[in-house]
């Protein structure tokens, strides 16, 4: 029980800090995404900047909502206090994930690294969507443990952006690879790493319901 509480507190700290960081970067410190766009070279599609920026901001807000609602639904206290809130909040999370996937699908063709990175993002989005829908299917069948496990896998993908940039930083700054190459590696590696981490957490928690 103590390990589970500690894990949730750690998760809450990371989630809240990342939400604040994302909002500050995209809406205050660099609202035009000049730093991020400076890395996009050799795009084969013309970038409509106003539209792209609007979609990106919507994407960021929806991703933050998904991260926040997902975090709340892992709270045992909230679950025990109001099952109705847990259920409604879960649907908000589901809709947020679907919309994040859609907006990401728009931005994928403009991904740093070109077609290879774009394919990686599309694969990542499909995996995330399927995993999230599996969580919904399991709770409809009243399989609570299976639902929780699929939700853990789904929530892990809320950290996709953070994971990609950490891996990119490692290969770009640590191993001296080109930024574009490092970013592409980050996209594909994040899929494997997030699935692996979520599997480890599921194993740590065990088979108890909450």
Distances (CA, A) of 133 to 105, 130, 187: 18, 5, 22
pLDDT at 7: 86
Q: What is the pLDDT of residues 106-116, one digit of tens each?
A: 999 999 988 99
pTM higher than the cut 0.75: yes
In the predicted structure, residue 87 carries a pLDDT above the cut 60: yes
Give the start-to-end residue ranges of the domains of the chain. 2-32+47-158
pLDDT at 108: 93
Q: How far apart are CA 147 and CA 153, in angstroms?
A: 10
* Across 113-128, average pLDDT: 95
Length of the chain: 210
Q: How far apart are CA 208 and CA 210, in angstroms?
A: 6
Min mean pLDDT across 40-49, 83-92, 93-102 is at 40-49
pLDDT at 207: 64
pLDDT at 208: 58
Q: What is the pLDDT of residues 166-206, one digit of tens each?
A: 999 999 999 999 999 999 999 999 999 999 999 999 998 87
């Amino acid at each position: 029980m103590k390990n589970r509480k500690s894990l949730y507190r750690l998760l809450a700290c990371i989630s809240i800090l990342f939400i604040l960081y994302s909002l500050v970067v995209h809406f205050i410190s660099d609202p035009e995404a000049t730093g991020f766009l400076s890395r996009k070279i050799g795009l084969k599609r013309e970038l409509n900047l106003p539209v792209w920026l609007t979609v990106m901001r919507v994407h960021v807000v929806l991703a933050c909502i998904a991260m926040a609602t997902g975090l709340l639904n892992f709270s045992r206290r909230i679950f025990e206090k109001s099952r109705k809130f847990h259920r409604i909040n879960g649907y908000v999370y589901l809709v947020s994930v679907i919309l994040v996937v859609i907006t990401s699908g728009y931005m994928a063709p403009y991904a740093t690294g070109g077609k290879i990175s774009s394919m990686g993002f599309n694969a990542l989005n499909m995996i995330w969507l399927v995993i999230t829908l599996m969580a919904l299917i399991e709770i409809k069948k009243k399989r609570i443990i299976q639902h929780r496990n699929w939700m853990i896998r789904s929530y892990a993908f809320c950290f996709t952006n953070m994971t990609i940039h950490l891996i990119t930083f490692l290969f770009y700054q640590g191993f001296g690879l080109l930024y574009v190459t490092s970013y592409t590696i980050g996209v594909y590696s994040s899929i494997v790493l997030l699935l692996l981490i979520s599997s480890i957490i599921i194993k740590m928690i065990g088979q108890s319901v909450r």
